[in-house]
């Protein structure tokens, strides 16, 4: 981007030098009723160019400076806010533990029989051998 900006300024300077070389004639400029300024055409063109450029450049620099300060303030507030919130919510950042699931979801591992079913399995009434 810096190269493009430099090329534009060099191009403007070359155009200005060519303009100056071909238009080096004195002119009379009436500023007020009794005030007449005798100057060369290139000086008049450069003055008009600077009268248009400098105020807009100053407005641009002021706006850029103000916005950079505002962005820096917002970034520092975001950094302070993120530091103060980190200790209060450790669970939000901690990884969740996986639940115990069988290795094969279609063929789950057999579970241990409960105490009620094991008592009925060893009762004398269900035993076929006397």
pLDDT above 70: residue 78: yes
Q: Return d(Cα 23, Cα 46) in angstroms, integer.
A: 12
pLDDT above 70: residue 101: no
- For residues 92-96, give the mean pLDDT: 58
Give the tens place of pLDDT for each residue, 26-73: 999 998 888 999 999 999 988 998 999 999 999 999 999 999 999 999
DSSP state of 129: -
């Amino acid at each position: 981007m810096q190269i493009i900006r430099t090329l534009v300024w060099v191009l403007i300077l070359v155009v200005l030098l060519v303009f100056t070389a071909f238009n080096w004639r004195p002119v009379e400029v009436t500023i007020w009723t009794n005030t007449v300024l005798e100057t060369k055409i290139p000086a008049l063109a450069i003055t008009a160019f600077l009268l248009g450029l400098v105020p807009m450049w100053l407005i641009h620099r002021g706006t850029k400076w103000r916005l950079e300060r505002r962005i820096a303030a917002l970034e520092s507030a975001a950094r302070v806010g993120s530091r103060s919130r980190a200790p209060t919510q450790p669970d939000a950042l901690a990884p969740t533990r996986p639940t115990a699931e069988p290795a094969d979801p279609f063929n789950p591992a057999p579970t241990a029989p409960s105490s009620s079913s094991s008592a009925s399995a060893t009762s004398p009434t269900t035993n076929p051998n006397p």
